[in-house]
Amino acid sequence: MSDHTPTLVLGGTGKTGSRVVRRLTERHLPVRIGSRSGGVPFDWENPATWAPALQDARAVYVSYYPDLAAPGAPEAVGSFAELAVSLGARRLVLLSGRGEEEAKAAEDAVRASGAEWTILRASWFAQNFSEGHLLDPVLSGQVVLPVGQVPEPFVDVEDIADVATAALTEDGHVGEVYELTGPRLLTFADAVAAIAEASGREVTLTGISAEDYAAALLAEGVPSEVVELLTYLFTTVLDGRNAHLGDGVQCALGRRPRDFADYARATAATGVWNT
């Protein structure tokens, strides 16, 4: 897109959004952060915040919190997309979940909005081990999860941000559904082993039943709706449906996606996994 009106980045302080913001800023393009914790106030649960955030925006990176699998997500995304188009937004880039049937309803709502759309179906984020709920377990040296030997093509969020930025600012991505994965399949045990090797620390993975995992989270005070969502992601999305590679990074950027081992080495060098 050639105009210089702002690009609204929802979740602009989060894993993918903050990286999209950085890339747009580095290109000296006007950007507006929409977030509950920074930039222009934006809250998916408060539609009154939507229109002010959309003012004069011509492109929007749509990242739904907490996840498109959450109840009410398709309806909220659909209402937002319709409002965005009515207020002049031309292009919507939706971050979606790979293998999440519920997310497809939100994708359909964006398609029906009349906008120029691009959908990014992302696999499990590598950065969940360093910027998300798995950081503390890694630091403790023991990651306990309800996972077996089903492999997952972990994607580096730097790749997601690169594709999102291209879709927001360049021609050639409208109407595309990009399956964003890493270049190889790893089990969670493989991923934890790669982190241990890169960080020089002893980190192990212990399997647990989904019921025991949910009970442990509830005992730690994690809200029940978050527990339900995490349990769903581990037991349903990791049932083998995503145990194959996607070509979205190659198609969108013309290069291979980043490997998990490269992510682990780069992250270890930051010291985030040091005790």
Residue 110 domain-assigned (yes or no)? yes
In this prediction, residue 270 carries a pLDDT of: 97
Domains of the chain: total: 1
Question: 170 with 162: CB under 8 angstroms?
Answer: no
Domain harbouring 250, CATH code? 3.40.50.720
Buried b (16+ CB within 10 A) or exposed e, 184-219: ebbbbbbbbbbbbebbeeebebeeeebeebbeebee
Residue 208 domain-assigned (yes or no)? no
Residues of the chain whose pLDDT is less than 50?
2
In this prediction, residue 260 carries a pLDDT of: 98
How far is the C-alpha of 192 from the C-alpha of 175, rounded, in Å? 36
Residue 150 domain-assigned (yes or no)? no
Range of the domain at 166: 7-125+155-182+243-258
Residue 145 domain-assigned (yes or no)? no
Residue 98 domain-assigned (yes or no)? yes
Q: Give the total residue count for the chain.
A: 275
- For 191-228, the pLDDT digits (tens) are 999 999 999 999 999 999 999 999 999 999 999 988 99
pTM of the predicted protein model: 0.96
Residue 202 domain-assigned (yes or no)? no
How many Cβ atoms from other residues are within 10 Å of residue 3's Cβ?
9
In this prediction, residue 269 carries a pLDDT of: 97
Residue 15 domain-assigned (yes or no)? yes
Residue 221 domain-assigned (yes or no)? no
In this prediction, residue 3 carries a pLDDT of: 62
In this prediction, residue 149 carries a pLDDT of: 93
